[in-house]
Amino acid sequence: MSLDEIPDRIFVSLGRRGFDPVNPKQCPKCELFGPGGLKLLEKKLYEEVKSEEGIKRVIDYKIRCLQCNTIFYIRLQHIIQKIDGEEKRITTLVNILDEKQNDLGWVGNF
Ligand SMILES: [Zn+2]
């Protein structure tokens, strides 16, 4: 279990301006980021859901900011398709949730 499972750079669509990389591992309150400032407390895997897009695999990473003690979650939603029996990751949506798991919004994809 490690924050390394979440990439340091994900991409946000800016429409006509293309894609801009952001770091999703950032405290939503004090905006601190970096491996020394955030502590991974828990990793929660949900049951996978089959949808039209493929298989959706949701993972929540519960994180505490060591600077302001805010608890928040980074949620990864992996969209996987089976092609010739092989699993292929199509995309992953990244959302940030607050301590009560209210969705604070979509950050980007990788
Ligand atoms: Zn913070």
Please write the tens of the pLDDT for every residue from 3-27: 999 999 998 876 666 677 889 999 9
> How far, in Å, is the centroid of ligand 1 from the Cα of 11?
22
Lookup result for tokens 């029996």: 85
> How far, in Å, is the centroid of ligand 1 from the Cα of 40?
13
The pLDDT score that the predictor gives to residue 38 is 94
The pocket of ion ligand 1, defined by CB under 5 A, consists of: 27, 29-30, 32, 65, 67-68, 70
> How far, in Å, is the centroid of ligand 1 from the Cα of 69?
6
Query: pTM for the whole thing?
Result: 0.88
Range of the domain at 48: 3-109
Contact 65, 29 (CB under 8 A): yes
Number of domains making up the chain: 1
Residue 3 buriedness (CB in 10 A; 0-12 / 13-18 / 19+): middle
